[in-house]
């Protein structure tokens, strides 16, 4: 089974990064750590470069996104328009 870190939450990924760097600092070879966690060969070196002694460079970045354009009330109204009515009620002769 192939592992994929994209399905893990950011907190878990942060813990994995920290543990991997700690293992290398405890004199385990980077190739062994990479094989254990299923990482790309170059990933561990990026983490080692970013890691400060306190582990600050390995913290997860906050997820930001585009700000919402609709208020929660407007979103629920649009949801009801799309899901709770028949397109023929809006004068359309086809479904969405």
C-alpha span between 57 and 45 (Å, rounded): 13
- Of the two residues 6 and 25, the one the predictor is more confident about is 25
Are 51 and 75 contained in the same domain? no
Number of domains in the chain: 2
The 10s digit of each residue's pLDDT in 56-88 is 788 888 778 899 899 999 999 989 888 887 777
Are 52 and 80 contained in the same domain? no
pTM higher than 0.85, yes or no?
A: no
With a cut of 70, say whether residue 5 has pLDDT above it: yes
C-alpha span between 78 and 22 (Å, rounded): 49
Are 20 and 52 contained in the same domain? yes
C-alpha span between 41 and 28 (Å, rounded): 15
Are 11 and 40 contained in the same domain? yes
Are 84 and 54 contained in the same domain? no
Are 70 and 33 contained in the same domain? no
With a cut of 70, say whether residue 2 has pLDDT above it: no
The 10s digit of each residue's pLDDT in 36-61 is 888 888 989 999 988 877 667 888 88
**What pLDDT, on the 0 to 100 scale, is given for residue 84?**
80
The domain of 49 spans 5-58
Mean pLDDT of the chain: 85
């Amino acid at each position: 089974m192939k592992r994929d870190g994209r399905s893990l939450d950011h907190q878990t990924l942060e813990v994995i990064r920290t543990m991997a760097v700690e293992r290398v600092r405890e004199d385990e070879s980077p190739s062994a750590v990479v094989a254990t966690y299923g990482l790309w060969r170059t990933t561990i070196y990026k983490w080692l470069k970013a890691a400060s002694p306190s582990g600050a460079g390995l913290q997860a970045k906050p997820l930001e996104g585009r700000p919402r354009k609709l208020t929660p009330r407007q979103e629920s109204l649009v949801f009801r328009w799309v899901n709770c009515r028949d397109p023929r009620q809006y004068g359309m002769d086809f479904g969405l």
